[in-house]
Amino acid sequence: MEQCACVERELEKVLHRFVMYGHQSEERLDELLRSVCEIRGQLVAFGVQDADLSVLSQTMAQCCKNIKETVQMLASRHKDIHGSVSKVGKAIDRNFDAEISAVVAETVWETPERQKYLSETIVEHLYRQGMLSVAEDLCQESGVVIDMSMKQPFLELNRILEALRMQDLRPALEWAVSNRQRLLDLNSSLEFKLHRLYFISLLSGGINNQMEALQYARHFQPFASQHQRDIQILMGSLVYLRHGIDNSPYRTLLETNQWAEICNIFTRDACALLGLSVESPLSVSFASGCMALPVLMNIKQVIEQRQCSGVWTHKDELPIEIDLGKKCWYHSVFACPILRQQTSESNPPMKLICGHVISRDALNKLTNAGKLKCPYCPMEQNPSHAKQIYF
Cα–Cα distance for residue pair 171/161, rounded to 1 Å: 9
Range in contact with Zn ion (rule: CB under 5 A) among 55-63, 79-87, 207-215, 347-355: 347-355
Q: Is 376 in the site for Zn ion (CB under 5 A)?
A: yes
Give backbone dihedrals phi and psi of 348, rounded to 5 degrees, phi first.
-80, 165
Q: What is the nearest approach in angstroms of Zn ion to the Cβ of residue 351? A: 10
Q: Is 344 left (phi over 0), alpha (psi -120 to 50) or beta?
A: beta
Measured from the CB atom, the residue of 259 and 376 that comes closer to Zn ion is: 376
Q: What is the nearest approach in angstroms of Zn ion to the Cβ of residue 117? A: 41
Q: What is the nearest approach in angstroms of Zn ion to the Cβ of residue 371? A: 14
Check if the beta carbon of residue 194 is closer than 8 Å to that of residue 176: yes
Q: Residue 256 gets which letter from DSSP?
A: T
Q: What is the nearest approach in angstroms of Zn ion to the Cβ of residue 378? A: 7
- For residue 85, give the amino acid letter: V
Q: Residue 335 gets which letter from DSSP?
A: B
Q: What is the nearest approach in angstroms of Zn ion to the Cβ of residue 353? A: 8
Cα–Cα distance for residue pair 348/245, rounded to 1 Å: 61
- In this structure, the chain runs to a length of 391
Select the residue interacting with Zn ion from 207, 274, 354, 389 (CB under 5 A).
354
Measured from the CB atom, the residue of 197 and 362 that comes closer to Zn ion is: 362
Q: Is 356 in the site for Zn ion (CB under 5 A)?
A: yes
- For residue 129, give the amino acid letter: Q
Q: Is 374 in the site for Zn ion (CB under 5 A)?
A: yes
Number of residues that bind Zn ion (CB under 5 A): 5
From residue 82, alpha-carbon distances to 13, 26, 75, 248, 269 in Å are 12, 19, 11, 60, 53
Range in contact with Zn ion (rule: CB under 5 A) among 25-33, 116-124, 314-322, 356-364: 356-364
Range in contact with Zn ion (rule: CB under 5 A) among 2-10, 54-62, 162-170, 355-363: 355-363
Binding site for Zn ion (CB under 5 A): 354, 356, 374, 376-377
